[in-house]
Structure 1
Amino acid sequence: MTRIAILGNSHIAAYKAALPLIKSKFPDAVVTLYGVNNADFHAKSLGHSNPLRVRSQEDAQSGGMIDIKGPVELDLSAFDRVLLASHGFYLPSYYSILATHDVLDLTTAGHSKSISLGALTKAMRLRTTAYRKKMQQFYNPDSRFVVVQMPFPAQQSVQNIPDIAGTAQQPDADRLMALFNTIVSEELKQSNLNYAPVPSRMIAAPFLSLAQFARANDLSTKPEASDFTHMNASYALETLSDLLVP
């Protein structure tokens, strides 16, 4: 039996939906979900000690957007694997820059604003360092811990999210995505944190997940039907398939 804790914010809903599939594919895995709203997930009071504890019983039962209804507290020492899902390392904030700026030293897109590749790289490194130190304080991680990258929005998101559309249209978007992942991976090694970026087979184009993984594909009512930033059970299962192999 392998005891697995998956911690996350609203993106953890994909793992909840995938629980029957996970049980079928990995019968020896016992999965516990620990989901709280995004504000609590990044609050110092959430993970400053072990066991982790959300701010209130009400938060634990509501799970914010997530409806996980998981435990109020979670002793991480009881688990063989700890997956920290949905960490974005400020990636959404870079979307707003890349959608409106040319990156000097790379192929330009014709924007009226620009940022040098050096300045962008420095900002990514500084902010990722701060993010990593915060995670170090939260979890005091060891070799059991894996940081699972926040999903890229699905292909359909370019239709209604300008920042995503503009980022995807960067001529050197593939290089920028690789730069981001390299910086995060190198930084996390300093805290004994393994990094699991989005698998390449699940990426349609730089910064975009395949359309089939959008949570909206599993829904028929609005506003959730237009949700192309959260993923479905198939996405979660594919992600875990890489992490739970012997």
Structure 2
Amino acid sequence: MRRILILGGTTEASRLAAALQGQPAILSYAGRTEAPRAQPVPVRIGGFGGAEGLARYLRQEGIGRVIDATHPFAAQISRNAIAACAATGVPLLALQRPEWQPGPGDAWTRVPDIAAAARALPRAPGRVFLAIGRQHLAEFAGLPHHFLLRLVDPPQALPLGRVSVEIARGPFDAAGDTALLRRHGITLVVAKNAGGAGAEAKLAAARALGLPVVMIDRPALPPRAVVGAVDAVLDWLHADLGL
């Protein structure tokens, strides 16, 4: 039986790995988290070397199906997966959370990307919960705000002059995030529209406290098959591979 490659890094990827325990599946991490959770299937860590490297890996490892369960903002690996699967003829399915949608009481400003989020911040100094991870912080360097970051791993260095860091791993809840925003005197939240329940608590907290949110839209990707639940992935695999 040909192997199943899960491109991971999300809660959904871990749930899929658990559902495929005992099957010929492998879970791949990019390696940005220093201590990922233990998984019930074999794990590889690190990049593939672009679309060509991923295509080579698919051929060499006898991969028969690819599930892209990466973070919605991990656009480059998703683009590489689309190209590599097209080049090799390996079927690809994306497992992706539905986007968050604003509800009553929300005060969102939607922006297309990180740079636009930085431009959308007020000119007057404030206290901003910058809930975007650690990869694109340089876009906010030089702005007059005090930033709060919540990271999984302690950072080595940060490009921000005025910053507080909380080390924590989700999922989070609304009560805890409301207390977090109050404790740091947050006046505005910047978030990526990642979707899912694990990180939605900050939006509930912002709503409860009447805080504005700058919401960054997901990057656009080429067309691909997408499902929103692990069960839908299993149905696809059962139909194609007889699992």
TM interval, shorter chain, is 0.3 to 0.5
Structure richer in helix, relative to its length: 1
